Amino acid sequence: MARQLLLRLRNLVILGVALCSLGGGSARAADAAFAQFVASLWPEAKEQGVSRATFDAETRGLEPDYKLPDLLLPGRPATGAPAQAEFVQVPADYIKEASIVRLAAHGQKLIQQYRPALVEIERRFGVPGPIVLAIWGRETDFGRYALPYDALRVLATQAYVGRRKDQYRTEFIMALKMLSDGVVSRGDLRASWGGAVGLTQFLPSEYYKHGVDLDGDGKIDLWHSVPDALASAAKQLANKGWQSGVRWAYEVKPPANVDCTTGVPEVKKPIAEWLRAGFVPVRGQRLSAAEQQPASLLQPEGIYGPAFLTTANYFVIKEYNFSDLYVLFVGHLADRMTSPAGFATPWSASQQLRSKDVEAMQKGLTRLGLYADKLDGKAGMQTRAALGTFQKKAGLRVDCWPSESVLQAINAAR
């Protein structure tokens, strides 16, 4: 414990020097401090089994990338994640019908191409083939999207001046371990801005937790082996609680008097109870086999647009990527691989507030004692429910959707 504390203090000193350099010193001084920071990670890398030869070879000449998003740099505004830079996307922008049609058509071909692997994946992990194919499609366009960044550089930079330094410190060391273990070549270790790698976008630590050698060649290859990548995604879902035989969600038509403030994960009821309250499956399907499953209400656009009863598996996919729109995209794409039917209720043409305004709304709701979640500028379930509660108290129309008028009312409230 004392050794870890000393290491942390030393690294904080190194980071402090670097931050001063970034604020007013030369780029050369900043890079020297970055190099010192990376060098200080050797003891931790050694503990994880990274060879000295690999550590030296892979970190020699490594430079930070200060153009990455989500960094905290002195004298510069916080960059935020790319999707939050100016506008938070509304569902119609994120779940574009043309994209779904294109990916679903290709996914149908892949179901046939990889049928033996997908059958084995569902047998072993309980995850249907279309679900893992949809994750692959969303993450890298079925491998056709070339990841743009050098993973080591991304992870080192995020460990150095990112918002989640401790997490990325671990991921950087695990990426070095992957190289030391011969898992992947440096040339293939390409990443998103967040440091995820491979066909189905795993962080390096996830490779060691969830990786599967499904094709039986003696190695886990998330870059070139589609069976390995899909099986690893399925194992990750299974390890996070995937329930075999349970759908991800059911689209429903809510009753006219629906209370959108109940659309939070904490409000769970058996599907039968939701049905008795007037929620109707949009396509008239019988849910008798699922009536005892607990589900939560999801209204991504408040009272506008489609509504869903989300099962435990919905939240398992959300553990893969903590975004409601991501889960809706993956779940709907998986459905479209086996059925041509789109959403029964169309997305509305609603406008979304800028992320800074959503964050201001969250701060106002926190001040009023109505919100206790993250101040992240994302209009998720908790934010929508909290603003709906405010609308109730203020005598406004309750639609659980962030708008300029509601923000003004929150700011004026005491």
Range of the domain at 284: 249-310
CATH number (domain holding residue 361): 1.10.101.10
**Which tokens hold the place of 29?**
């001084």
Q: Is 70 found in the same domain as 10?
A: yes
The pLDDT, as a whole number, for residue 2 is 47
Q: Is 366 found in the same domain as 279?
A: no
How open is the CA angle 182-186-187, to the nearest 5 degrees? 125
Give the position of tokens 């049928």: 115
Identify whether 156 is part of a domain. yes
Give the residues of the chain that fall short of pLDDT 50.
Answer: 1-3, 5-7, 9, 12-15, 17-21, 23-24, 83-87
Q: Is 170 found in the same domain as 29?
A: yes
Q: For residues 368 and 383, what is the distance between their CA atoms, to the nearest angstrom? A: 13
93, 214 contact by CB (below 8 A): no
Identify whether 216 is part of a domain. no
Q: Is 276 found in the same domain as 174?
A: no
Q: Which residues contact 227 (CB under 8 A, 6 or more apart)?
A: 114, 117, 214, 215
pLDDT tens string 93-113: 999 999 999 999 999 999 999
Q: Is 41 found in the same domain as 170?
A: yes
Identify whether 9 is part of a domain. yes
The pLDDT, as a whole number, for residue 285 is 79
Give the position of tokens 């435990």: 312
Q: Is 293 found in the same domain as 155?
A: no
**Which tokens hold the place of 384?**
């929508």
Identify whether 318 is part of a domain. no
Q: For residues 313 and 127, what is the distance between their CA atoms, to the nearest angstrom? A: 10
Q: Is 173 found in the same domain as 69?
A: yes
- List, as one string, the DSSP characters of 76-102: S-----GGGSSBPPPHHHHS-HHHHHH
Q: Is 388 found in the same domain as 259?
A: no
What pTM value is reported for the model?
0.90
79 φ/ψ angles, rounded to the nearest 5 degrees:
-80, -35
pLDDT tens string 233-277: 999 999 999 999 999 999 999 999 999 999 999 999 999 999 999
The pLDDT, as a whole number, for residue 86 is 30
Q: Is 158 found in the same domain as 70?
A: yes
Q: Is 186 found in the same domain as 44?
A: yes
Closest among 241, 242, 212 to 227, alpha carbons compared: 212
Query: What does each C-alpha distance from 382 to 85, 146, 326, 360, 368 come to in angstroms?
Result: 21, 34, 17, 15, 15
Identify whether 263 is part of a domain. yes
Give, as one character, the DSSP assignment of residue 304. B
Number of domains in the chain: 3
Alpha helices, DSSP H only, in 368-413?
Answer: 381-394, 404-412
Q: Is 404 found in the same domain as 284?
A: no
Q: Is 10 found in the same domain as 70?
A: yes
Dihedral of alpha carbons 7, 8, 10, 14, sign: positive
Identify whether 406 is part of a domain. yes
Identify whether 187 is part of a domain. yes
Beta strand spans in 71-174 (E): 149-150
Identify whether 122 is part of a domain. no
